Amino acid sequence: MIWCLVLIPLLVYVCLVIWFIKGWAKIGELEIRNQELGIIVSIIIPCRNEANTIQTILKSIDQQKFDFKNLEVILVDDHSSDDTFGVIRNYELGIRNFEPLIIQLSENEFGKKAAIKNALKISKGELIVCTDADCEFGVDWLNAMTSAFHSPNIKMVTGPVMFFERPGFWNQMMQLEFLSLIGIGAASVQNGYPNMCNGANIAYRKSAFYEVNGFKGNEHIPSGDDEFLMHKIHEKFKGGVQFLKKYEAIVYTQPPQSLSEFVNQRIRWGSKAGHYKNLKSKLLPAFMYLFNVVLFFTPLFYFLEMPWTVIATLWLGKLSIEIVFFATILPFFRSSKILDLVIPAQIFHVVYISIIGVLSVMKSYTWKGR
């Protein structure tokens, strides 16, 4: 009978996923509105070794249906070792609507947070939109991301992100797992407990950034320019963070190109959880990790005489509720075809979560060649 106690984490997990499902379902799709005249928007794009991708995002910005008189684009070169700076300077593919402002970090400054802080110092916009140099988006992206700020109560907006569509089983598995993180982050924001977001698609009021002292307290952590800031804004302005559930707001980013790159990325993401200040923010990843560890060790538990019925209940319970979860979020991303991968994704997810959790504590990671 003692093995039946293992079903308690399953019950908690099912309730948690139901909470995510309800949160996602409650998010209304915001109507896209043109930016109000006179409100300047600053897009900040940190760049490091992006010579092969920077032209794509510049084209995406140039094609926006936006009043470019109220837009500035700031590119910050973070000591690129390739020709990123030269490509930007000599970009001749026909930007028609804006001229980017280009700055370089000094010798004693480096990293994404330093890039954003330096750009903020010279920015003219009250609304700050941050994305990454390897991203792409549709023509209504900027209008969508700024529409939420028509409400003065909104201080920060987190937007949807997905990988570029790539053929192959591995790429689709990564897409499925990535969209689950976006869905969980969105639902958590809606439920009033912001936990995760993606820095490839966020926007905030510059005044809010300075009111919460920006990145102070986490400058030493290479990543987290998105989540740590979101946590601080949420603490200062209750209800001031909103997820933008609008298809036009999706930002597309590059998926990891190899298994080692995938592992390195997840170690970097996982390492942030240990630096969360809020206990509630720590509890969610901690529980998710421990529940997956229990599943990871079920083959061992079987040899220790755990009834196979308990093992089957654990796995089928997780699978069943996750099918409902993915069936709820995937239509928004127009990716329902990958719902078929939920079953094989179970083993992949349990194994990788269990291993990454250990590696994020024991192993360091590299980011942008550092």
Residue 367 within any structural domain of the chain: no
Residue 370 within any structural domain of the chain: no
Residue 369 within any structural domain of the chain: no
Residue 120 within any structural domain of the chain: yes
Note the pLDDT of residue 143.
92
d(CA 200, CA 195): 16
d(CA 236, CA 66): 31
Residue 368 within any structural domain of the chain: no
Q: In terms of Cα–Cα distance, which of 330, 180, 166 is closest to 255?
A: 166
Note the pLDDT of residue 205.
96
In a shared domain, residues 34 and 17: no
Q: Give the total residue count for the chain.
A: 370
Using the CB atoms, write b or e for 185-223: b if 16+ within 10 Å.
bbbbbbbebbbbbbbbbbbbbbebbeebebbeebeebbb
Residue numbers of the domain that contains 72:
28-269
Note the pLDDT of residue 291.
86
Note the pLDDT of residue 61.
95
In a shared domain, residues 226 and 353: no
Into how many domains does the chain fold? 2
CATH code: domain of residue 171: 3.90.550.10
Percentage of the chain surpassing pLDDT 90?
46
Q: Span 285-308, mean pLDDT? A: 83
Tell the residue number behind the tokens 């009043």, with chain if given: 67
In a shared domain, residues 89 and 166: yes
Q: Is 311 exposed, middle or buried (0-12, 13-18, 19+ CB in 10 A)?
A: middle
Q: Span 28-57, mean pLDDT? A: 82
Domain-terminating residue out of 269, 294, 317: 269
d(CA 178, CA 58): 25
In a shared domain, residues 284 and 263: no
Note the pLDDT of residue 325.
96
Inform me whether the pLDDT recorded for 297 exceeds 90: no
In a shared domain, residues 265 and 292: no
In a shared domain, residues 96 and 238: yes
Residue 357: both structure tokens together: 């959790």
Greater model confidence, 263 or 21: 21
Per-residue confidence band for 267, with pLDDT thresholds at 50, 70 and 90: confident
Greater model confidence, 152 or 326: 326
Per-residue confidence band for 363, with pLDDT thresholds at 50, 70 and 90: low
Per-residue confidence band for 184, with pLDDT thresholds at 50, 70 and 90: very high
Per-residue confidence band for 66, with pLDDT thresholds at 50, 70 and 90: very high
In a shared domain, residues 289 and 357: yes
Inform me whether the pLDDT recorded for 37 exceeds 60: no
Q: Which of 50-54, 90-94, 101-105, 217-221 has the lowest mean pLDDT?
A: 90-94
Inform me whether the pLDDT recorded for 120 exceeds 80: yes
CB 227 within 8 A of CB 180: no
Per-residue confidence band for 345, with pLDDT thresholds at 50, 70 and 90: confident
Q: Is 8 exposed, middle or buried (0-12, 13-18, 19+ CB in 10 A)?
A: exposed
Inform me whether the pLDDT recorded for 364 exceeds 80: no
pTM of the model: 0.89
Which tens digits make up the pLDDT trace of 226-243? Answer: 888 999 999 999 999 999
Residue 58 within any structural domain of the chain: yes
Residue 79: both structure tokens together: 């000591």
Inform me whether the pLDDT recorded for 85 exceeds 80: no
Note the pLDDT of residue 289.
84
Q: Which of 55-59, 201-205, 243-247 has the lowest mean pLDDT?
A: 55-59
Which tens digits make up the pLDDT trace of 130-177? Answer: 999 999 999 999 999 998 898 889 999 999 999 998 888 888 999 999
CA distances to 8, 253, 325 from 2, rounded to whole Å, are 11, 46, 30
In a shared domain, residues 235 and 181: yes
Three-point CA angle 331, 335, 341, nearest 5°: 110
Q: Span 261-265, mean pLDDT? A: 79
Note the pLDDT of residue 191.
94
In a shared domain, residues 115 and 222: yes
In a shared domain, residues 15 and 145: no
In a shared domain, residues 103 and 236: yes
Domain-terminating residue out of 223, 243, 269: 269
Which tens digits make up the pLDDT trace of 194-203? Answer: 988 999 999 9
Inform me whether the pLDDT recorded for 352 exceeds 70: yes
In a shared domain, residues 55 and 171: yes
Per-residue confidence band for 118, with pLDDT thresholds at 50, 70 and 90: very high
Domain-terminating residue out of 241, 269, 297: 269
Q: In terms of Cα–Cα distance, which of 31, 25, 330, 321 is closest to 162?
A: 330
Q: What is the mean pLDDT of the chain?
A: 86
